[in-house]
Amino acid sequence: MKTQVLICVLNALAALVLLNVVSSTLSRSRSRAYTYVGDDYPIELPLEEKLLLVSMTLEETVHYELNISDPVAEREWDSLMLYPRGFGRVHLGPERRVFNIVFWHQMHCLRSMERAIQNRSHPFSTPGHVRHCLNYLRQTFLCGADHTLEDGDFTIQNFEMERIADTRMCKDWEAVESTMNRKILEFFDFRHGKHPS
């Protein structure tokens, strides 16, 4: 009987500890004032608007060709790096601490791998950088663990004939980008001494 009571108490304690971990993780992502010193910063970029879902139909595309002498394809790949402004970085908190945004870092890695495939003399094409990018994508995809269902078996699909895939729900990346754009403009103002009151 005594042991049972002890087990009950221990279970209750374990549950409390677990609850604490979960709620402190959650409260880190909720909006509150952060100092941006040490570990005191939110898990995700606090967005200025509610992040809605948008639908996107995946399809094979004639854009983003792998052809280094095609100026249109080159510009399309370049566009991965053009938007949002500020090279994927945001400056947050009173000291304007620098952070990267994961999805933009992912885009940078895709762009780098396209460079590496097409031009071995490009500075992004070193084995070290390609390896960093492959591992970064591997780990961030693992972390995202996207469990969206895809119809059919892609290993036997003829992508020349079957060009349209599922429509899926995505985070509205434009909302993320527009917050990033606003942050970079704020940072330019900060650097030029125009502090918000």
Residues that bind ligand NAG (CB under 6 A): 67-70, 119, 121-122
Between residues 67 and 79, which has the closer beta carbon with respect to ligand NAG? 67
CB of 128 to ligand NAG, least distance (A): 16
Between residues 68 and 110, which has the closer beta carbon with respect to ligand NAG? 68
Q: Which two tokens stand for residue 72?
A: 């249109």
What is the rounded CA–CA span in Å between residue 186 and residue 83?
16
Between residues 122 and 138, which has the closer beta carbon with respect to ligand NAG? 122
CB of 67 to ligand NAG, least distance (A): 4
Any long-range contacts for 166-170 (C-beta under 8 Å, 24+ apart)?
Answer: 166/57, 166/58, 167/55, 167/56, 167/57, 167/58, 168/55, 168/56, 168/57, 168/58, 169/53, 169/54, 169/55, 170/53, 170/54, 170/55, 170/56
Between residues 118 and 181, which has the closer beta carbon with respect to ligand NAG? 118
CB of 116 to ligand NAG, least distance (A): 11
CB of 102 to ligand NAG, least distance (A): 27
